[in-house]
């Protein structure tokens, strides 16, 4: 073991002392090229072996393009933890009266072993800017999708020569968020601490303008400014207590004020009491109940919206519980085929009461998505809403059935 | 000073047992490579909270490891969770002289046996057994571990 360490140190020292223009491949212990970086004939074998195999890049520390007995022994020693894990997996499967099946591709339904190293994550405290096509939740432990895989805001211009219409459109959400997560470790388990805080300021826009008079009625002009804050307080009454504050000011691109709203929310999360945490429903399904207490204050500004919520007052304060049930299959190929795992059922019931008038605002929202072919091309989507919409107070009793297809 | 040893493999077994008891209806085996975060559909908030829940289970208290919610962001498999816990165990280096090291599982087993005996027949529990529990708890508090 000591000789490997010495050899590694020696290889690094040699690499450091070599002419500085020699080049290294990422993750490779060896350096290549003359002082101008040109590959030398004597390096071809090492270069090819290292380019082709990660094992060589990591273990051929004397850079001769061959794995010596000592280098091979070091590689095998590094694999031993994985062999131990796989042995443990086999023992565990046997204990459950199961066997580990290897398919024709050489894969097992569930990985037997894995690295103990954590996957890289963003820093515990960071600022980030986001530009998306629709609002998405930003939270202490809920980061937005990576920029490369998210759909961004859209801006477009089009000209229709037949009806002589020029159309301009912009739709999206732009925001700046800051997340702080506590990295201080309490000495004793169960000590209350602030797990994290996240804050985000955002601007949402949906603008469509038509130059043709006949299409003026189809224009959109909504501009909203908002802020969202979330506080996570851990180990309080056996749960993490999430407090959320949201505020939104709705206007248009002519700066005419419409309305503003403030929402205050409390949600406990506890694995012990199965609050906002998964629990077993038979061998194939997991469920989750999210209990939330919500307070919303909405105010109509002069000349603003005529939504039903403002039929009696210009300002409405409502409070009440929201309960959501989600049922999903367990996501393991050992339990269910992969294509069935995307099924989901969600039922949310919201019961808010106007603090002044005692008027009730109830809303039931049930949705289900179910894949109907093993290739994952087709899915059946059902949605049912009954009650009064939270934002406007408008009555709704709507059932929708949809078929989504993708190839 | 009494020393106890623990290995990553033992932590993996404890974690697998934890998830098996949390999801008792799941009859499929859990392996070190199993992505339990995905398998049981943990939300980011519930997964983060699991750090506090795991910190209070008896074997974690014996290990003296306290996890925080930020720790959970980069882990999702049993192996990664075991690695995370193992990283936070206080290690000691074995001295050149011979020192007796007891596997931590032995301590856990002995305390469980005594506690089970008390539960079964609390009146008949001898002063000696109670003393042994007290001694074990005290030992656990002072425990120093070394990696295998």
Final residue belonging to a domain, choices A248, A277, A311: A248
- Nearest-Cα residue of chain A relative to residue B33: A113
The mean predicted confidence, pLDDT, of chain B is 79
Q: Are residues A301 and A155 in the same domain?
A: no
Answer whether 0.95 is exceeded by the pTM: no
- Residue B85 structure tokens: 């816990």
Neighbours of B134 (CB within 10 A): 10
Per the structure, the complete domain to which residue A163 belongs is given by 125-248
Q: How much is the pLDDT for A362? A: 95
d(CA A58, CA B113): 48
Is B52 an interface residue toward A (CB < 8 Å)?
A: yes
Domains identified in chain A, total number: 3
The pLDDT of residue B137 is above 80: no
ipTM of this predicted structure: 0.82
The C-alpha atoms of residue A136 and residue A141 are separated, in whole angstroms, by 13
**Same domain, yes or no: A277 and A367:** yes
Residues A261 and A407 in one domain: yes
| B94-113 pLDDT tens trace | 666 776 777 777 766 666 66
**Minimal Cα distance from A344: which residue of B?**
B41
Q: Is the dihedral of CA A78, A82, A87, A92 positive or negative?
A: positive
Structure confidence at residue B136 (pLDDT):
52
Asked if residue A80 belongs to a domain, the reply is no
Do A311 and A399 have their domain in common?
yes
Other CB atoms within 10 Å distance of the CB of residue A104: 5
| B33/A242 CB distance under 8 A | no
Tell me if B36 sits within 8 A of B19, measured CB to CB: yes
A39 and A156 part of one domain:
no
What does the pLDDT average to over B75-85? 96
Q: How far is A15 from chain B (nearest CA, A)?
A: 31
Are β-strands B3-6 and B101-103 bridged in parallel, bridged antiparallel, or unpaired?
parallel
Query: A119: distance to nearest CA of chain B, Å?
Result: 5
Q: Is residue A173 part of a domain?
A: yes
Torsion angles phi and psi, residue A216, rounded to 5: -60, -35
Single out the residue in A67, A94, A113 at which a domain terminates: A67
Instruction: Give the gap in angstroms from C-alpha B4 to the nearest C-alpha of chain A.
Output: 20
**Gap between the Cα atoms of A22 and A29, Å rounded:** 12
CB contact under 8 A, B80 and A119: yes
Report how many Cβ contacts below 8 Å link chain A to chain B: 200
Structure tokens at A239: 């749960």
Q: Which residue of B has its CA nearest to A331?
A: B39
H or E, element range at A370: strand A360-371
Report yes or no on A366 lying in a domain.
Answer: yes
φ, ψ of residue B60 to 5 degrees: the values are -75, -35
Residues A38 and A63 in one domain: yes
Same domain? A280 vs A241: no
Find the angle CA(B18)-CA(B23)-CA(B28) to the nearest 5 degrees. Answer: 95
Mutate to test the interface with B, among A81, A92, A340 (most CBs of B within 10 A): A92
How many Cβ atoms from other residues are within 10 Å of residue A139's Cβ?
A: 21
Query: 3-state class of A281 per DSSP?
Result: strand
Confidence at B124, pLDDT banded by 50, 70, 90: very low
pLDDT of residue A275: 97
Same-domain status, A269 and A406: yes
Domain ranges of chain B: 1-148
Taking the Cβ of residue B75 and every Cβ of chain A, the question of whether any pair is shorter than 8 Å is answered with yes
Using alpha carbons only, give the angle B69, B73, B77 rounded to the nearest 5 degrees: 110
Query: In sequence order, what E strands does A163-258 have?
Result: 165-181, 193-210, 220-236, 239-251
Tokens of B121: 């027949």
Kindly give the confidence (pLDDT) of every residue in chain A, 407 residues in length, as a single tens digit, with 9 standing for 90 and above.
Answer: 444 555 555 454 444 444 444 566 667 888 888 888 898 899 999 999 999 999 999 999 999 999 999 999 999 999 999 999 899 999 988 988 888 889 888 889 889 999 999 998 889 998 988 887 766 677 888 876 666 666 677 888 888 888 888 888 888 888 899 999 999 999 999 999 999 999 999 998 888 888 888 887 777 788 889 999 999 999 999 999 999 999 999 888 888 888 899 999 999 999 999 999 999 999 999 999 999 999 999 998 876 677 788 888 889 999 999 999 999 999 999 899 988 998 999 999 999 999 999 999 999 999 999 988 887 788 899 999 999 988 888 889 999 998 878 77
Q: What are residue A391's phi and psi, to 5 degrees?
A: -75, -40
Q: What is the C-alpha to C-alpha distance for residues A331 and A368, in angstroms, rounded to an integer?
A: 17
> Does residue A77 form part of some domain?
no
B45 reaches A (C-beta below 8 A): yes
pLDDT in the model for residue A6: 53
Beta strands in B22-124 (DSSP E): 101-103
Let me know whether A327 and A267 are in one domain: yes
From chain B, the residues in CB contact with A335 under 8 A are 26, 28, 39
Question: At A58, phi and psi to the nearest 5?
Answer: -90, -35
Tell me whether residue A108 is in a domain.
Answer: no
* Residues A148, A207 within the same domain: yes
Does A392 lie in the same domain as A356? Answer: yes
- Using an 8 Å Cβ cutoff, are B145 and B103 in contact? no
Same domain, A224 and A159: yes
Q: How far apart are CA A46 and CA A35, in angstroms?
A: 18
């Amino acid at each position: 073991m000591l000789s490997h360490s010495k050899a590694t140190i020696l290889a690094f020292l040699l690499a450091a002392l070599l002419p500085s223009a020699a080049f290294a491949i990422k993750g490779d212990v060896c350096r290549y090229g003359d002082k101008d970086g040109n590959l030398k004939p004597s390096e071809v074998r090492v270069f090819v072996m290292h380019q082709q195999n990660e094992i060589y890049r990591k273990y051929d520390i004397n850079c001769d393009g061959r794995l010596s007995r000592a280098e091979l022994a070091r590689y095998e020693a590094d694999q031993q933890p994985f062999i131990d894990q796989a042995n443990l997996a086999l023992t565990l499967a046997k204990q459950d009266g199961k066997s580990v099946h290897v398919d024709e591709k050489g894969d097992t339904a569930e990985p037997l072993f894995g690295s103990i190293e954590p996957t890289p994550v963003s820093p515990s405290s960071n600022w980030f800017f986001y530009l998306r096509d629709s609002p998405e939740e930003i939270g202490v432990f809920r980061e937005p999708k990576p920029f490369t895989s998210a759909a961004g805001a859209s801006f477009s211009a089009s000209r229709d020569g037949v009806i002589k219409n020029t159309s301009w459109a912009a739709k999206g959400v732009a925001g700046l968020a800051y997340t702080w997560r506590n990295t201080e470790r309490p000495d004793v388990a169960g000590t209350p601490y602030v797990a994290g805080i996240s804050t985000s300021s955002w601007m949402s826009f949906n603008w469509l303008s038509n130059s043709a008079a006949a299409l003026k009625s189809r224009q959109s002009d909504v501009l909203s400014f908002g802020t969202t804050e979330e506080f996570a307080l851990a180990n309080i009454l056996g749960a993490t207590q999430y407090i959320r504050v949201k505020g939104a000011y709705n206007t248009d691109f002519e700066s005419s004020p419409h309305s503003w709203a403030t929402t205050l929310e409390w949600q406990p999360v506890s694995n012990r009491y199965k609050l906002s945490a998964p629990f077993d429903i038979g061998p194939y399904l997991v469920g989750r109940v999210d209990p939330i207490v919500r307070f919303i204050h909405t105010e109509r500004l002069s000349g603003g919206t005529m939504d039903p919520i403002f039929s009696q007052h210009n300002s409405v304060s409502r409070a009440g519980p929201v309960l959501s049930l989600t049922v999903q299959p367990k996501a393991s190929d050992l339990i269910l085929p992969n294509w069935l795992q995307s099924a989901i059922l969600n039922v949310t019931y919201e019961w808010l009461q106007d603090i002044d008038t005692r008027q009730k605002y109830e809303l039931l929202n049930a949705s289900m998505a179910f894949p109907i072919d093993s290739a994952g091309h087709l899915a059946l989507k059902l949605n049912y809403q009954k009650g009064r919409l939270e934002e406007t107070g408008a009555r709704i009793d709507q059932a929708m059935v949809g078929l989504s297809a993708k190839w | 000073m009494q020393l106890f040893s623990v290995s990553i493999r033992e932590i993996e077994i404890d974690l697998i047992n934890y998830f098996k008891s949390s999801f008792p209806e799941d009859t499929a085996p859990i392996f070190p490579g199993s992505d339990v975060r995905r398998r049981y559909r943990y939300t980011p908030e519930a997964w983060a909270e699991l750090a506090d829940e795991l910190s209070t289970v008896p074997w974690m208290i014996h290990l003296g490891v306290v996890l925080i919610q930020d720790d959970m962001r980069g882990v999702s498999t049993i192996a990664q969770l075991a690695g995370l816990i193992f990283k936070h165990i206080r290690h000691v280096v074995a001295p050149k002289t011979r020192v007796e090291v007891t596997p931590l599982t032995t301590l856990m087993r002995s305390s469980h046996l005594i506690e089970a005996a008390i539960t079964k027949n609390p009146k008949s529990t001898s002063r000696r057994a109670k003393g042994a529990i007290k001694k074990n708890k005290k030992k656990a508090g002072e425990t120093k571990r070394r990696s295998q």
